[in-house]
Structure formats: structure tokens, C-alpha cells
Structure 1
Amino acid sequence: MILKDYLLIYPDRIEKGTLRLEQGIIKRINPDQIRPDETVRDGESTLYVSPGFIDLHVHGSGGADVMDGDLQSLRTISRTLCQFGTTSFLAATMTQAPTNIRQAVRTIKEHSLALDGARILGIHLEGPFINPEAAGAQSEEHALPPSVEAFRNLTGEDADFIRLVTLAPELTGSIPLIRYLASQDITVSIGHTRATYEEALAGIEAGISHATHLFNAMPPFHHRQPGAVGAVFDTPVSFEIIPDGIHVANPVLRTAFKVKGVEHSILVTDAMMACGMPEGEYRLGGQIVTVRDGAARLSDGTLAGSILTMDQAVRHVLSQTDLTLYEVIRMATWNPAQRCGASRNKGRIADGYDADLVIFDEEIRIQEVYIRGRKVC
């Protein structure tokens, strides 16, 4: 297949160009000639082609939850996400009973290749090594003291499918676990934490390289008590942020991007099962969540994930910052690909890379989505 005369979005620029897709990959950028037998789609120099969006933090969508622990739920999530331009994601678990987490981990790995929509690149283990005082919508009662043994019990022979672990570095036992995870090339992320600046810095020195939904479920930045946010601002770690105008105020969103720079910034949705669904009552990690006025909340008002989609995230950041389109797209594609270890074949438009592509217009309205060269939406 030939995608002719589209506006191609690279991590550092946008250029008009043509792509040849063959056997699931980008075979050639700007081929010398088009064969008579090739199917040609013409973008007429008005439509954009972006790498497929990569979401590092997805709990569910389409009425299904990752913690359901079954193939049908994963298929529903996969098919729902691709409608909004997400072609790859990390399936995020919740802090629940260890047997539930173990079942979810096993199911995700076992069925990751049986999905016909967005592909699962691995697992984001969000908890159970969290600070109960910063649980947010996670279960306080199922929080576990961090240890290498506990991690191995939760993941077993499926530990190789864990790509990212969110934990609180101030908890006793965290530092040895951080060092172990980093030694296994697993991204360790600070989150659901009450860490002081010094405690966060100790975790970063041990191997933390990322921050989960910056600002949410951690102490606010204070000029005399900078806390986890201050440590993230003061070091080269990357961060993810939920850009829906609800989780983080827009001036703070702009500040985070200015302080950290585009290269360290990643857009995520933290989507839960109500994503892509009407407002009403749903659940997250076994808790009842009410979705109203675009926000998902527990009965006490605590935010419980989001109903954000990645195309909405891109539109929101474009509307609320002075960043260029290619900079925003980089935060939804190349940066997360690097963070989760998928940058050898995903996250950018390049010869030999997977043909995971999103076509949209100047208002970021999705027109077509391709996964490994196959049109899925």
C-alpha cells in the first residue's frame, strides 16, 4: 500500500511525503516510483500521518477493565482504544488482592497477541507497593510492603512482561526493590507517594527513572517542601501527565512542560472502563465510580482514573500550550516508546518500523488507524 502526499509527523519536524507499507512495516519513505499493482491512498497534502499513539497507563475502556482478568475484556479494551488513535498500550493493574493481580498479569501476557485492535506492549504494575496515605482510587487495604519476594510472587514466570512499576520510594523495602527492578530493565516510577524531596531523590538515585501521573497522588509542590514533584523537576527523570483539564490545571500543565522539556514529557490517559462509554456508574479496581461532567470519581469525590482518549489529550495540549504539533505528537508516540522499551520498532515514522499509523486532519479528527499495516479503524 502507498500513502501518497501526506504530512508526515516526525519527532522534530513535519514534512510532506509518501510511505510504502509492506508486510506490516514502513518499507520505504518517499519511494522512487509507485508500482502499477500498488493500492494508493492520496492525502492531498492536507491530512497528517502520525505514528500510532502509545499509552503507558490504561486500566480499561469500552466497559471493560484490565483487572477482569479475561480475554474478552482485553479484546474490548483493545478495540475501543484504536478508535481514538491508540495503537499500543501498557495494561495497568490495580492494587487488589495478590491473587487478583496474579490472575490479571497471567491473562494479559497469555493473550497479548490475540487482540485485533491496539496491541499490548506489556504491563504497568500500578501498586500494590503504594503508600496507603496516597492511595487515591487504589485500595488501601491491599497495599503491600515492597520487596523483591513480593514482586516475584505477584508476577511469577510472567515477570518478563512487566514494563513499568509504580511504587512509593519512602516505604521500607523500596530501595532494594527499585535496584532489582532497574537491573531487570523494568522502568521504576514514583507514584502514589508521600515522599519528601530527600526520599524521592534517594529512590531516583537507586533507579527510579519516571513519575506516574505527575502531581496526582503525591504531595503538592511547595517552595520549602518540594517533595516528589520537586525531585522530578530537579532530575532527568521522565514524567507522565493526564492532560484532561481535570487532573491538572492548565497553567500547571504548561509549567511542567517548560520545566522538564518536551523530551522528558509523556501524555497518558489513565483511562478506566468508562472511556468511550456514556456517563453513569462504573467500577475501577472493584470500587464504584460515577462518571459525570467528564470526570470519573469515587463516592467521596476522589478522582478515579479518567475517560480521556489519546486524541483528546493531543487536542487539549495543543489548545492549552504553545507547543508545535510535532512536539505534542512526540509526547504521545516516540517518548512513550522509549520509556517502555519499544523504540526499536515503534513510535516514529522510519524505514523498517512497524506500520502503526494514525491519519487525522488539522483538527486531530481521526480518519484512519493502521496497526502493522492493517486498517483497523
Structure 2
Amino acid sequence: MKKIYGLINGKIIHDYSIIENKVLIFNEKIIDILDLQEIDRYKNIDLIDVKGKFISPGFIDIHIHGAGGSDIMDGTIESITNISNTIAKTGVTGFLPTTMTMDRYTIYKALNIVRQATYLDIQGAKVLGVHMEGPFINEKYKGAQNAKYILKPDFDFIKEYLDIIKIITLAPEMDEGYKFLQKMKDYSNITLSIGHSNATYDEAKKAIKSGIKHATHLFNAMTPMHHRDPGIVGAVFNSNITCELIADKIHVHPAIFQLLIDIKGVENLVLITDSMRAGCMKEGIYELGGQKVIVKSGSARLENNTLAGSILTLNKAVKNILENTNIKLHEVIKLVTQNPAKVIGIDKNKGSLNIGKDADITIFDEDLNIYFTVVEGKIVFNKL
């Protein structure tokens, strides 16, 4: 018989409000939300007192390269398992391991390992598929990607991995005649995202009409907004596509956070970490995509001072948005739960605490410190 748990004395973050004085009942799925005196209807229930903390849907990171000293491009189950266990302690219950622009063999090795990991019980955050960031990018906005391995968008390059790819970041101006975008219309389960791109405003708008549905780490590694040349940022503002934000206050000034929410709305924004292997680690020298990275003063940079991903965690990103905007906690939580689930088409099963959905649960205090993480009913982190 499946073990049934009940979370008591918590503040439950539901779709449009925060519910108090209720019990959240779950096993692999969310079973019920009810009054304490009603729990007698469930026999042999394990009650867990969360002591006034917030009970939230599990966080979903759709753009993360690594953490805990490991990187997806290591191409090993051990690295993915380490990342999974590391980020579970930050409230993440599901993630998209994100690739880099490297040689074909290394990318395929990483994709094969991610595919393998989706079938394994790796005891931490669940691998939900893969985010391919590159090699279909523009050298001018390559950021910390390796220009040596940049390719034009090519369906043959990805055709063996359509089952696990959830997002592809690309520079649409590199797609001659938008043939790749046209071909990908047959694969609606894959979200095409504009990023690492030198597209003009008009090119970006045309790409959005041709199938781009998302923007990778908005503002970073793309043509900026200028009043005479609106660029990709202007095209994103002037459309209904979703967009990612690295809310570490380094990649994007915190004064932009409220402006972005005002323009795009809560429903179209997704917080990501873009974390590299130094996430949750000490300062020092690390590696990203075969390049040396110096982690110091809260940022990760190449030797030429280019930002190289981040060392942000999703719980910290939530806190940064809370402290720098006027939106409420239950709205901010959507940026790391419902919204990313919708972007990758898994919102029927994940992203909220609605009855019948997967029991992906995160418990945190008012400072966003994580105390408890549940992945599909399994407790993977507990310091209550």
C-alpha cells in the first residue's frame, strides 16, 4: 500500500492565493487539501508538521548547465545525479539539463546521458528532458559559448533526439530562409527560443511569426532595445512570447525586474538560473564548455570578463524578485512553477498543487530558505 503523507501547520501556495489552516494530503500525486478535522478519512497517514512555513509547488528550472561541481557536458550519469541532488536542496523538483556549443560528439554524449537519466531514479530533482543551447547561435552574441563549434540550424543534427529535446535556443537570422523554423513546426512538443542572436527587430518579429515561442535569458546575449533600433528585446516586448530572466541582479539590473513584469505580465515570465558547475560551490576556478571560468564576488566570468552562466539558485531568484517588485509571493512562485511547466508542455501534470497532479512540493520559510523537497511523492530533502 502506498504511503500517504499529510503536511500540517503550513501556508499552502495555491493558484491564486495562500491557504492557511488546511492539510495537504499526497502520495505520488496530490490527493486532497482539507481541514485538519477531516483527515480521519485517510488511514495510516504520516503527518508532517511544517511549523508555519510555506508549502509550494516544486520549482522547475528549464535552463541550467550544472551545479555542485558537475556539468551536463561531463556526459556522465554521476554528474547529472550530483546536479539533481544539489539543486533539490534549493527547492528544485524538475529541470532541463542544458547543453553548450561544443563538438558534435560531446553534445551527443550529453544528450544520450540525459535520455538515460530520464528513466532512472536519481534521488533528487527529476530530469524532464533537455534544453539545447547552441550550437545554432550567432558568433557576435556567443557569450561564453565556443565560437569554434557554431553551426547553422540543422534538422539532421537533432533528428535522433526529438524525444528528449524540450527547448532549442537558436539565432533565427542564421537559419537561411527560416527552413529550420518551418521544419520544426511539425514538432510542437519542442519550444523554439530566440537567444545568442544578432537578429534585428524585423528579423525577430518574423521569426516569432515563423515559430519562435520563447526568449532565452532576455537581455543577455541578444540585440538590445534602442529607441531607433528596438532589436530582439523590443520584439519580445511587442509580442506574447514567454521569456526567461536570470534574476541574480548581475545579469540584469534589479530596476528592470518590475519593468519587465509590467510589460510582459506575470504569466509570460520564467525565472531560470543558467547555473554552471560552480553553483552551490565556493569561489575559485572552474570550467564551462571547455573554457576557464573565474567565480568571484557572486558572478562567474571568462578570463575576458564575459559572464559565463551564473551561480544563482532558484530560491534566491524568487527572493530577488520579491524584494525588487510589487508582485505577491503566490505570483512570484508561478515564475518558477506553472510558467516553466507551460513552456515545456508539462503543466497538466506539474507546476501546481492541484489535486491529481504529481506531488512535487517545496517547503520554505519567509527568507526562502528550503527545508523540504518532494519529487513525485518521494522526500528527497528534509531538514524540517
- The answer to whether structure 1 residue 193 and structure 2 residue 193 are counterparts is no
Report the equivalent of 1:324.
328
Q: Verify the 8 A CA contact 1:169 1:200 in the aligned structure 2.
A: yes
Write out per-residue CA displacement over residues 32-84 of structure 1, whole angstroms, 9 at most, x where no aligned residue.
3334521112335x211000000010100000010011110011100001000
Report the equivalent of 1:370.
374
Report the equivalent of 2:154.
147
Query: Which amino acid counterpart does residue 135 of structure 1 have in structure 2?
Result: K
Q: Verify the 8 A CA contact 2:214 2:241 in the aligned structure 1.
A: yes
Distance 1:310 1:141 in 2: 31
Q: CA deviation at 1:344?
A: 1.2
Query: Which amino acid counterpart does residue 18 of structure 1 have in structure 2?
Result: V
Query: In the alignment, which of 119, 122, 127 is matched to residue 113 of structure 1?
Result: 119
Distance 2:236 2:360 in 1: 31
Write out per-residue CA displacement over residues 267-315 of structure 1, whole angstroms, 9 at most, x where no aligned residue.
0000000001100011111111000000000000000000000110011
Query: In the alignment, which of 217, 220, 225 is matched to residue 216 of structure 1?
Result: 220
- Listed as ranges, the matches of 1:1-377 within 5 Å are 1-16=5-20, 17-22=22-27, 24-30=28-34, 32-34=38-40, 35=42, 37-44=44-51, 46-114=52-120, 115-152=122-159, 156=160, 158-173=161-176, 175-185=178-188, 186-377=190-381
Query: Which amino acid counterpart does residue 136 of structure 1 have in structure 2?
Result: G
Q: Verify the 8 A CA contact 2:117 2:127 in the aligned structure 1.
A: no
Of 178-187 and 219-228, deviating more is: 178-187
Where in structure 2 are there 5+ consecutive unaligned residues?
none
Write out per-residue CA displacement over residues 179-204 of structure 1, whole angstroms, 9 at most, x where no aligned residue.
32232121000000011000001110
Q: Verify the 8 A CA contact 1:269 1:309 in the aligned structure 2.
A: yes
Where in structure 1 are there 5+ consecutive unaligned residues?
none
Distance 1:338 1:135 in 2: 27
Distance 1:307 1:278 in 2: 10
Distance 2:261 2:378 in 1: 34
SS in 1 for 2:13: strand
Percentage of identical aligned residues:
42
SS in 2 for 1:39: strand
SS in 1 for 2:248: coil
Q: Verify the 8 A CA contact 1:113 1:119 in the aligned structure 2.
A: no
Change (3 A) 1:89 1:76: same
Runs of 4+ in 1 over 3 A off after TM superposition: none
Q: CA deviation at 1:366?
A: 1.0
Distance 2:182 2:313 in 1: 33
Q: CA deviation at 1:174?
A: 6.7
Q: Verify the 8 A CA contact 1:146 1:174 in the aligned structure 2.
A: no
Distance 1:211 1:193 in 2: 10
Write out per-residue CA displacement over residues 132-188 of structure 1, whole angstroms, 9 at most, x where no aligned residue.
111000011100011222332xxx2x3210000000011143722123223212100
Distance 2:8 2:265 in 1: 33
The alignment's TM-score, normalised by the length of structure 1, stands at: 0.96
Q: Verify the 8 A CA contact 1:21 1:373 in the aligned structure 2.
A: yes
Distance 1:330 1:246 in 2: 22
Change (3 A) 1:19 1:267: same
The alignment's TM-score, normalised by the length of structure 2, stands at: 0.94
Pairwise CA RMSD of aligned residues? Answer: 1.2
SS in 2 for 1:170: helix
